[in-house]
Amino acid sequence: MANILVIAEHDGASLKPATLNAVTAASKIGGDIHVLVAGKGAQAAAEAAAKVAGVAKVLLADDAAYEHQLPEDVAPLVVSIAKGGYGHVLAGATSVGKNLLPRVAALLDVAAISDITAVVSADTFERPIYAGNAIATVQSADPVKVVTVRTTAFETAAAEGGSAAVEQVAGAGAAGLSSFVSAELTKSERPELTAARVVVSGGRGMQSGDNFPMLEALADKLGAAVGASRAAVDAGFVPNDYQVGQTGKIVAPELYIAVGISGAIQHLAGMKDSKVIVAINKDEEAPIFQVADYGLVADLFKAVPELTEKLG
Amino acid sequence: MKILCAVKRVVDYNVKIRVKTDQSGVETSNVKFSMNPFDEIAVEEAVRCKEAGAATEIVVVSVGPAQAQETLRTALAMGADRAILVQTDVETQPLAVAKVLKALVEKEAPGMVILGKQAIDDDCNQTGQMLAALLGWGQGTFASKVVAGDGKVAVTREIDGGLETVELKLPAVVTADLRLNEPRYASLPNIMKAKKKPLETVTPDALGVDVTPRLTTVKVAEPAKRQAGIKVPDVATLVDKLKNEARVI
């Protein structure tokens, strides 16, 4: 059976959780799992990858050219490794994975399969289409399957227990097509949105960004991450990386509390796999109530502070 | 600089889609179609580039059935100069579309190609990246800001943790995120004018591209339905249910 190459997402020191979800998806395909860590000074991330349960080998490409993991530079590296006998190339369907893998697939002249939610067999996968309103089962006849993995659809692999060897690999380095200029990251003390056990999201009903601290207070009580609908992002209440939905982040927490969110198709695409959904909305006709396990028709400006208080 | 813009005709974003009972796909007869929302943003960006003097001509392209002409006319009404329809009735998968676009790029020699970041029907988010790979160009995906300069373009991208800015050597491929701009409505006079703008129709064969789908769709099914929930009368009941029934807090 051919080996599986998982592309690690990391910050040099540690792995992003999405990589662990991708390893789990890889384990369902069957075959030796190798993890590629491309970066600059990424020895620590490679060592972390070597400890992940189920990983047989870690390939470390340490080069200044891979510092910001620009796809123009990393894709040729992945392609040259993949050609050495891999049947699958996997990555988490994060902004990094979505940016890189289609470029890899095109260079290999194979189709890419985006955002899989289940592995049916080594060549057949399930993936949502039409904003999650249909599930397509697709089969690939290509020699290499290039696949991004919906992180919320697979458990995270255990970060300890493995003892893979770390092997250095060399790539062609910088392609000279692009360069990193700057990054502006949102800082938050709260858990990461896509990995949080509880998510509290606000929509247009919040009326203003000034009212979001009310949700943050509730989130803090629950140890939750704060999300938002597109309406709240477009109105400037919160930064765009808070957005949950078809075009934002896909979350599947144990508890999702939607506050002042009507529940448009595009928003539901990002959260309807949550275990328990609570909706707080004053419009009892709002579509969100059709997917909510518990609905409260009430003015959020009264209900949210009361809820925060009662949880204390 | 010439800009090439790719647009796709998709089921309108407001339509609640239905899966066919034989599980062969999604019902598309008697359903409203419109331009993929991300592509409207791509066209708008191209038009703004032209208005700012950074672009000289905008060519819009669509790969799809004869009805995709309407989508191209919409783009022309928004301000594109001419259109090319690559007509085919087979299901258009990203790799095939990227190859068609590559063939057209070689013919038209644009300085930049702008696409939407994903189509809302297949939700693939692949075509722009694949096109950049095939051309050996830089890619600025999920763009929320594009500043074209001399021989290069600065693209601010939406990433999971916030924003990132990269600089690409031109020519380059850019894919538009929702926050790049607010697309304009085509006015009636512009819709009338668009009918007179050139629209060329070619076939994939004429471009030497094989568009046969590479992935086989085994079936399309409805997602698992959620159980209908209950409405609670007050916050106290809600807390009680979450603690004792759902046991999530």
What residues of chain A lie within 8 A of the CB of B137, using their CB?
A: 177
**pLDDT for the residue A127:** 98
**Searching chain A, which residue's CA lies closest to the CA of residue B96?**
A111
If pLDDT is split at 50, 70 and 90, which confidence band does B67 have? very high
Distance CA A288, CA A258 (A): 8
Shortest Cα distance, chain B CAs vs residue A94, angstroms:
7
Share of residues in chain B with pLDDT > 70 (%): 100
Residue spans of alpha helices (H) in A62-134: 71-82, 95-108
Nearest residue to B72 via CA among B117, B2, B144, B6: B6
B244 touches chain A (CB under 8 A): no
Q: Which whole number is the average pLDDT over B102-121?
A: 98
What residues of chain A lie within 8 A of the CB of B165, using their CB?
A: 180-184
**B226 has a pLDDT exceeding 90:** no
Q: Which whole number is the average pLDDT over A253-265?
A: 97
**A195 has a pLDDT exceeding 90:** no
Average pLDDT, chain A: 96
What residues of chain A lie within 8 A of the CB of B216, using their CB?
A: 138-141
| A295·B218 Cβ contact <8 A | no
Q: Which two tokens stand for residue A281?
A: 């909305």
Alpha carbon distances (Å) from B89 to A305, B182, B211: 55, 31, 10
B17 touches chain A (CB under 8 A): yes
**pLDDT for the residue B225:** 86
Lowest mean per-residue pLDDT among A79-83, A171-175, B36-40:
A171-175
Eight-class DSSP state of A268? H
**A94 has a pLDDT exceeding 90:** yes
- Which residues touch B127 (CB under 8 Å, ≥6 apart)? A102, B6, B94, B97, B98, B101, B115, B119
What residues of chain A lie within 8 A of the CB of B161, using their CB?
A: 183, 185-186, 241
**B115 has a pLDDT exceeding 80:** yes
Shortest Cα distance, chain B CAs vs residue A182, angstroms:
5
**pLDDT for the residue A1:** 64
**Searching chain B, which residue's CA lies closest to the CA of residue A219?**
B249
Strand B138-148, strand B152-159: pairing: antiparallel
Rg (CA), chain A: 21
Nearest residue to A231 via CA among A198, A253, A258: A258
Alpha carbon distances (Å) from B4 to B10, B59, B71, B86, B101: 20, 5, 15, 14, 9
B137 touches chain A (CB under 8 A): yes
CB contacts < 8 A (A, B): 251
Q: Tell me: the pLDDT tens digits for B130-158?
A: 999 999 999 999 999 999 999 999 999 99
Share of residues in chain A with pLDDT > 70 (%): 100
B16 touches chain A (CB under 8 A): yes
Q: Tell me: the pLDDT tens digits for A279-304?
A: 999 999 999 999 999 999 999 999 99
**pLDDT for the residue A186:** 87
A 151-190 near B (Cβ less than 8 A): 176-186
Of A112, A135, A239, the CB nearest to B126: A112
Residue spans of alpha helices (H) in chain A: 17-29, 43-50, 71-82, 95-108, 212-222, 230-234, 265-268, 300-311
- The residue ranking higher by pLDDT, B166 or A189, is B166
ipTM of the complex: 0.96
Q: Tell me: the pLDDT tens digits for A131-169?
A: 999 999 999 999 999 999 999 999 999 999 999 999 999
**A230 has a pLDDT exceeding 90:** yes
Distance CA A196, CA A250 (A): 11
What residues of chain B lie within 8 A of the CB of A278, using their CB?
A: 238, 242
Peptide bond into B171 cis (omega under 30): yes
Distance CA A27, CA A132 (A): 25
**A312 has a pLDDT exceeding 80:** no
Q: Which whole number is the average pLDDT over B8-17?
A: 95
Q: Which whole number is the average pLDDT over A198-203?
A: 98
Of B126, B163, B238, the CB nearest to A184: B163
What residues of chain A lie within 8 A of the CB of B118, using their CB?
A: 247
Q: Tell me: the pLDDT tens digits for B25-62?
A: 999 999 999 999 999 999 999 999 999 999 999 999 99
**B228 has a pLDDT exceeding 80:** no
Terminal CA-CA length for chain A: 54
What residues of chain A lie within 8 A of the CB of B128, using their CB?
A: 102
A 190-249 near B (Cβ less than 8 A): 194, 198, 222, 230, 233-234, 239-241, 246-247, 249
| B124·A131 Cβ contact <8 A | no
Size of chain B in residues: 249
- Which residues touch B20 (CB under 8 Å, ≥6 apart)? B26, B27, B220
Q: Which whole number is the average pLDDT over A211-225?
A: 96
